[in-house]
Amino acid sequence: MAPLEPWERVFISEDFMTSVHGQASCVDCHGGVQVADKAAAHEGLIADPAGDPENACGTCHGDQTSTYVNALHTTQAGYWDSFVARGADITDPALNTMFDNHCSSCHASCGECHVSQPKSVGGGLLDGHNFVKTPPMTRTCTACHGSRVGNEYMGKNEGFVGDVHFRSGRMKCTDCHTGSEMHDSMGATNRYDGAETPKCTSCHAEVGSATDTISQHAIHQDKLSCQVCHSITYSSCDSCHVSISETTGNPKFKTESTYFTFFIGKNPLQSEERPYEYVPVRHVPIDPESYSYYGENLLSEFNAATTWKYTTPHNIQRNTPQTETCNACHGNVDIFLTADKVKPEELEANAPVIVDSVPAAVGN
Amino acid sequence: MIKKILVFITLLILIMTAGCAKQPKATVEPTEVKVTRVVPDPTKPAVTVEAAEATEAVVEASTADACVDCHTNKDLLVEIAVEPEVEEESEGVG
């Protein structure tokens, strides 16, 4: 994502002034004072009025804001879900300080998708303050979801091609992840909670049907997630540690390592919606000391949640190493997350995803 | 006398009717109504429906709107806008 010039970040275009949203007074939404002096004018400024979505946007867009206040991009419930899973006390002030310093910037207000770039990447108006109905992919979605999903999808991981939906269809995130999904998480507490949306079969309805000419689909349908066969190598990360800079006082992080993997693990989230026995798994950058700058033992039951997580890599291909032959997977220990590939200190945590017995090779 | 009065009243009515008929229709059209709206409210960048007048209205409004004055002036912003503070000490993939 190309950085914006400082002036460009706050420049208001003439056409915004004639747009519907341009009819409101600046101070009505942003506060501040109507004076020429820059410092005085910005006194009490509310840079992102959509931080209070129901008041700022809900008057006209109540259908969206009424559910968005509880959506995952607003509540960041996924973070809290993972803290709780590892035994954290969510009332602990140290944990909350850590969250406010390092995690809360990933919150996305209405404005951070429809007016400006997200704060986590420095903000800046998208289009002269014009409101953009469909958020631009690289300046909003992958501005935050860039290091894993964005790089996979657009083929930025060296040596690995981008997702076929991007390469061949130039599809944008919003083509699958619709506004309804973004605005309403339907009570989910993390992105793999509840119904599987979007579903590959929403478009590829023939998969597994009587007219499907690919017999492997019917054979593996409820055993494997689509990504097991149709995704390729993706990145995993280890040990992100957060702290405050002694020189600037700003929050900072350090991730120990990032590396490429493709491992099939047991599905730790097996349910009616996700019945698969096997799914790809990705190592997330957590370790028992990730938050130790803020306090001891904040994740008191670290081993209660896996560090290799259910994942849905965004680098889908029709043909992959797994689709070449049956024995690309069957009998191939290298492609499964077996115990020898897990750090000894994480074996207990990852018991739900470690594959003990690899499916036997089949005769061709 | 009554006849004279009736003739006078009739003439008066005819003159008033003719006068009304000659009034420019624009007085009741949105264009003029909106242009008059532009001036008095310094906090709102008023605009008209017609594009040509919209430009004029915006210019008028901006003279009374400090926010718009600055934030639509690229040259001024180039001089005074500052880079946001960027955290540069982090290491690795975020």
Task: For residue range A130-161, list pLDDT tens digits in order.
Answer: 999 999 999 999 999 999 999 999 999 999 99
In a domain, A268, yes or no: yes
Does residue A351 sit in the same domain as residue A214? Answer: yes
**From CA A80, how far away is CA A74, in angstroms rounded?**
12
- Report percent pLDDT > 70 for chain A: 100
Query: In chain A, how many domains are there?
Result: 2
Question: Chain B contact for A39, CB < 8 A?
Answer: no
- A358 inside domain: yes
pLDDT at A105 exceeding the cut of 90: no
Put simply, the chain A residues between 118 and 137 with a CB less than 8 A from any chain B CB are 122-123, 129
pLDDT category of residue B61 using cuts at 50, 70 and 90: very low
What pLDDT is recorded for position B3? 73
- Alpha-carbon distance B3 to nearest alpha carbon in chain A (angstroms): 59
A363 and A217 housed in the same domain: yes
Last-in-domain residue among A164, A183, A202? A183
Same domain for A339 and A202 = yes
Q: Which is more confident, A70 or B47? A: A70
**A14 interface with B at CB cutoff 8 Å:** yes
User: Does one domain contain both A134 and A237?
Assistant: no
Note whether A252 contacts B: Cβ–Cβ < 8 A.
Answer: yes
A40 touches chain B (CB under 8 A): no
Residue A256 lies in a domain: yes
pTM given for the model: 0.83
A19 touches B at CB < 8 Å: no
A9 lies in a domain? Answer: no
CB pairs under 8 A between A and B: 110
Least confident of A262-276, A316-330, A332-346, B25-39: B25-39
Residue A207 and residue A176 in one domain: no
Domain end, chosen from A142, A162, A183, is at A183
Give the per-residue pLDDT at B62. 42
Q: Mind telling me how many Å the CA of A3 is from chain B's nearest CA?
A: 11
Whether A36 shows a pLDDT value over 80: the answer reads yes
On whether any CB of chain A is under 8 Å from the CB of B52, the answer is no
Query: In terms of domains, do A271 and A170 share one?
Result: no
Per DSSP bridges, beta strands A278-283 and A308-310 are antiparallel
Which of A14, A32, A36 minimises the CB distance to B58? A14
Residue spans of the domains in chain B: they are 24-80
Backbone angles phi, psi at A47, to 5 degrees: -65, -40
Distance CA A217, CA A230 (A): 11
Indicate the average pLDDT of chain A: 95
Last-in-domain residue among A150, A183, A216? A183
Best mutation target among B50, B67, B83 (most A Cβ atoms within 10 Å) is B67
Contacts of A256 in chain B (CB under 8 A): 92
Q: Is the pLDDT of residue B50 over 70?
A: no
Q: What is the pLDDT of residue B63?
A: 40
User: A15 lies in a domain?
Assistant: no
What pLDDT does residue B14 have? 67
Q: Is the confidence at residue A231, as pLDDT, over 90?
A: yes
Q: Please judge whether B89 and A41 are an interchain contact, meaning their C-beta atoms are less than 8 angstroms apart.
A: no
Find the CB nearest A36 among B42, B66, B94. Answer: B66
A contact residues 283-302, partner B, Cβ 8 Å cutoff: 285
Q: Does A247 touch chain B (CB under 8 A)?
A: yes
In this structure, the answer to whether residues A161 and A200 fall within a common structural domain is: no
Q: According to the model, what pLDDT value does residue B4 have?
A: 75
The pLDDT value given to residue A101: 95
> B93 and A255 in contact by Cβ < 8 A?
yes
Residue A200 has pLDDT above 50, yes or no: yes
Domain that holds residue A109: 48-183
The kind and range of the H/E element at A258 are strand A251-261
Taking residues A205-216, what's their average pLDDT?
94
In order of A88, A95, A301, the CA distances from A92 in angstroms are 8, 5, 15
**Is the domain of A63 the same as that of A153?**
yes
Minimal CA separation from A10 to chain B, in Å: 7
Alpha-helical runs (H) found in chain A: 6-10, 14-17, 26-30, 38-41, 53-56, 58-68, 72-75, 77-85, 93-98, 111-114, 142-144, 151-153, 164-167, 173-176, 179-183, 215-220, 226-230, 321-324
For A92, the 3-state DSSP assignment is: coil
Residues A75, A290: contact at Cβ < 8 Å?
Answer: no
A344 in the same domain as A285: yes
With a pLDDT cut of 90, the percent of chain B lying above it is 17
For residue B25, the model assigns a pLDDT of: 39
For residues A37-54, average pLDDT: 94
Q: Say whether pLDDT at A56 is over 70.
A: yes
Distance (Å) from the alpha carbon of B84 to chain A's nearest alpha carbon: 7
The pLDDT of residue A364: 55
The 10s digit of each residue's pLDDT in A308-320 is 999 999 999 999 9
A222 and A346 inside one domain: yes
Tell me how far CA of residue A283 lies from CA of A54, A262, A322, A341, B24, in angstroms: 37, 10, 20, 11, 76
Please check whether residue A240 lies inside any domain of the structure: yes
Give one word for A155, left, alpha or beta, with left for phi > 0 and alpha for psi -120 to 50: left
